[in-house]
Structure 1
Amino acid sequence: MPATHPAIIDGHNDVLLKLYRAGGLAQAGSFLTGRDGALDLPKAQAGGFGGGFFAVYVPSPMDREARDAEMTNVSYDLPLPEPIDWEDALPVVLSQAAILFELERQGALSVCRSVGEMRAALAAGRIAAIFHIEGAEGIDPDLHMLDVLHAAGLRSLGPVWSRNTIFGHGVPFRFPSGPDIGPGLSDHGIRLVRRCNQLGILVDLSHMNAAGFWDVARHSDKPLVATHSNAHALCPISRNLTDDQLRAIAESDGMVGLNFAVAFLRADGRKLSDVPVETMLRHLDHMMGILGEDGVGLGSDYDGAIVPEALTTVADLPVLRQAMADHGYGAVLIDKLCRDNWLRVLERTWGG
């Protein structure tokens, strides 16, 4: 990537889960040398990937291939996986966090706790990694573990994945469907949101149903952020955000990261990879029409989703940059979408 292009900040990847499943700490070195996946250091350097949200996620025992096959149909309604007790989730959370810190020890990235640290890492040519947890199963009801993880570097948390927790209810993978499915935050969830506000932990609205979304909007005093979600008006799947939700995010001066997952991009909601990059630009245009040029970024879901064929790995990110330019986006807007908007909203959430 030419030096004239600032490195891209991305709202979501699942490389820690992939390394955990492949063997844990022993696989950390493959991130530096190259691995069979969407994100590693050589691909990041080739594609101008500068960093972003590295998700820690506790997987449910499920047949992933069967779920993916079901989502290729013209309609589907996948049940929510069973909840996971925090005592069972915590070892997985700690194992994946340990991989993140091992990557830092090996010099692959810097775990950043402030925007100043992110800027310093980017200036030094190091991946600026944000410690993020997708689904709060590993957090106890008293929130003691939240404080401990924050001290370790946690700066972003999704109270739910598409699975219920003691804090709230996830939105199932359902097409066609709106997100208004089930109840919202529990009393524990309201306390979680308020404590995250106090600590400066971003609360991620992705995977949250409509009731939970509006509960966060009522109880949070920080910008509303969905790290990896798309426009429901263009792809009516339960996981995407309605225009009313986008307007609420805009009113909070928050933002949304464009999810590359094909089932959240395609008008037919099918999990098939033959998606032109122009479809992604339509989502960007729609969301910017409501959120403005300062309210949209990227949230790829690399290593956690089936993505368009032209953007299989982070090494392909220049394809998206070029498509933005060909679509008529100017250089300033492209820089906002690729990096600056994330830095802006994180500064508002964390401070400098």
Structure 2
Amino acid sequence: MLIDGHLDLAMNAVDGRDLTLPLDTLRAHDPVPGQTATVSFPELRAAGVRVCFGTLFALPHSAASPAGYTGPQGARAQALAQLDVYHRWQDQGHVHLLPDAAAVAAHLGDPDAPLGVVLLMEGADPIRDASDLPFWVQRGVRVIGPAWGRTRYAGGTAAPGPLTPAGHDLVTAMRDLGVTLDASHLDDAAFWDAAQIGPKLIATHANSRAFVPGNRHLTDDMVRTIAQADGVIGLVLLNRFLHPLPEGSLERVPLATLAAHAAHYASLVGWNRVALGTDLDGGFGAEKTPAGINRYRDVPQVLGALPEAARPGIAAGNWARWLTTHL
């Protein structure tokens, strides 16, 4: 059994991928150029994935993404379109949306259930302001990462900065409503601002800055702070997040490098804080995954590079414990 802390399922559907297809069929007609797909619902089932954190990801405007949002309404429209995708999938029996700890526990007890999905908003720009948070909670969002790059709420990846005043209000509202904060993309200053406010805290997909420089990755002190909040950290299967490589590199990094990130985290906070957050098909394809990971059903090979005693927890047990305690 596997639990994955981060999959951009609806984003891929909006991009035209039919995740209900067997992976080989999807690949034969893949509408996303230059990124060989690794994820589909049959593929996840073949790999043993029972639950994942499924994102609502609004893509901001940039030179590379001219159709991205330029303001809150555009971000909101993207997130609502993806939310509709998850509900359509649920209506069709492909997924089961999991709103709380009891639902997760019941789902894990049913081996015949479809893929369980916990809704995660990656980048908070779809939220108008803190008073809008209940709208998203009522629709099932249980985890929010305030930033991706820079947002109205926080500095993020390659965009240094603290929480903005609106970010302070949002994180405070998250704390008060029991919504978990995903620290994966927060800049250092924003991370420490958020940690001081005191929401529930995890990192769904973040590797160690001890091996790869840059504010996309966690410092040792950040790791310890997440652990002190009883949080869990998911490991990302992107080559340049495992070893310092230029963006666009197709070098295949060995699984031993991923194992080194996991062992470093364990040396700081214990193996019970380490999990999977693969981010597969999260804007990259099989060309940029570690050696031997050419499709999702290869993910269990990751476990073979890890200490035997730690494997059940990293595969599913650590996320299962967190979800059934804190969601």
Q: 2:26 aligns with which of 35, 41, 62?
A: 35
Q: Which amino acid aligns with 2:152?
A: I
Q: 1:308 aligns with which of 277, 283, 290?
A: 290
User: Could you say which residue in structure 1 is the equivalent of 2:118?
Assistant: 130
Residues 133-156 of structure 1, C-alpha deviations (whole Å, 9 max, x = no match): 100111002432x21121111111
Determine the C-alpha separation between the residues in 2 that align with 1:296 and 1:314. Answer: 19
Determine the C-alpha separation between the residues in 1 that align with 2:135 and 2:24. Answer: 32
Determine the C-alpha separation between the residues in 2 that align with 1:46 and 1:245. Answer: 34
Structure 1 stretch displaced more, 262-271 or 287-296: 262-271
User: Could you say which residue in structure 2 is the equivalent of 1:75?
Assistant: none
Determine the C-alpha separation between the residues in 2 that align with 1:20 and 1:127. Answer: 19
Rate the CA distance shift 1:287–1:114 in 2: closer, same or farther, 3 A: same
Q: Which amino acid aligns with 1:199?
A: L
| Residues 34 and 41, structure 1, Cα contact 8 Å, conserved in 2 | no
Q: 1:277 aligns with which of 232, 235, 255?
A: 255
Query: What does residue range 16-95 of structure 1 map to in structure 2 within 5 Å?
Result: 16-22=10-16, 27=18, 29-30=20-21, 35-36=26-27, 37-62=37-62, 84-95=70-81
Determine the C-alpha separation between the residues in 1 that align with 2:321 and 2:87. Answer: 25
Q: Which amino acid aligns with 2:141?
A: L
Tell me by how many angstroms 1:276 deviates.
0.7
| Residues 130 and 173, structure 2, Cα contact 8 Å, conserved in 1 | no
Determine the C-alpha separation between the residues in 2 that align with 1:309 and 1:34. Answer: 23
Tell me by how many angstroms 1:227 deviates.
0.8
- Normalised TM-score (structure 2): 0.87
Q: Which amino acid aligns with 2:43?
A: K
Matched, 1:242 2:201: no
Aligned-residue identity in percent: 28
Determine the C-alpha separation between the residues in 2 that align with 1:190 and 1:148. Answer: 18
Q: Which amino acid aligns with 1:149?
A: W
| Residues 15 and 302, structure 1, Cα contact 8 Å, conserved in 2 | no
Determine the C-alpha separation between the residues in 2 that align with 1:122 and 1:349. Answer: 15
Structure 1 stretch displaced more, 276-285 or 335-344: 335-344
Determine the C-alpha separation between the residues in 2 that align with 1:322 and 1:34. Answer: 28
Structure 1 stretch displaced more, 91-100 or 56-65: 56-65
Determine the C-alpha separation between the residues in 2 that align with 1:13 and 1:340. Answer: 18
User: Could you say which residue in structure 2 is the equivalent of 1:323?
Assistant: 305
Residues 269-327 of structure 1, C-alpha deviations (whole Å, 9 max, x = no match): 65334111111100000011112122111110011133224123221122122333xxx
What is the aligned length?
A: 310
Determine the C-alpha separation between the residues in 2 that align with 1:48 and 1:142. Answer: 37
Tell me by how many angstroms 1:61 deviates.
3.7
Tell me by how many angstroms 1:88 deviates.
1.3
| Residues 60 and 75, structure 2, Cα contact 8 Å, conserved in 1 | no
Tell me by how many angstroms 1:53 deviates.
0.8
Residues 102-138 of structure 1, C-alpha deviations (whole Å, 9 max, x = no match): 1111111110011221232233232110111100111
For the residue of structure 1 that corresponds to 2:52, the secondary structure is strand
Structure 1 stretch displaced more, 90-99 or 340-349: 340-349
Can you give the 5+ residue segments of structure 1 that lack an aligned partner in the other structure? 1-6, 66-81, 173-180
Matched, 1:8 2:9: no
Tell me by how many angstroms 1:211 deviates.
0.2
Q: Which amino acid aligns with 1:157?
A: I
| Residues 58 and 78, structure 2, Cα contact 8 Å, conserved in 1 | yes
Determine the C-alpha separation between the residues in 2 that align with 1:231 and 1:269. Answer: 17
Rate the CA distance shift 1:309–1:33 in 2: closer, same or farther, 3 A: closer
Matched, 1:293 2:271: yes
Matched, 1:265 2:265: no
User: Could you say which residue in structure 2 is the equivalent of 1:190?
Assistant: 168
- Normalised TM-score (structure 1): 0.81
Rate the CA distance shift 1:256–1:156 in 2: closer, same or farther, 3 A: same
Determine the C-alpha separation between the residues in 2 that align with 1:61 and 1:85. Answer: 9
Tell me by how many angstroms 1:83 deviates.
7.6
Rate the CA distance shift 1:267–1:123 in 2: closer, same or farther, 3 A: same
Rate the CA distance shift 1:83–1:211 in 2: closer, same or farther, 3 A: farther
Rate the CA distance shift 1:183–1:109 in 2: closer, same or farther, 3 A: same
User: Could you say which residue in structure 1 is the equivalent of 2:140?
Assistant: 153
Q: Which amino acid aligns with 1:312?
A: N
Determine the C-alpha separation between the residues in 2 that align with 1:195 and 1:41. Answer: 34
Determine the C-alpha separation between the residues in 1 that align with 2:170 and 2:178. Answer: 12
Tell me by how many angstroms 1:183 deviates.
2.3
Tell me by how many angstroms 1:252 deviates.
2.2
For the residue of structure 1 that corresponds to 2:54, the secondary structure is strand
For the residue of structure 2 that corresponds to 1:235, the secondary structure is coil
User: Could you say which residue in structure 1 is the equivalent of 2:314?
Assistant: 337
| Residues 180 and 199, structure 2, Cα contact 8 Å, conserved in 1 | no
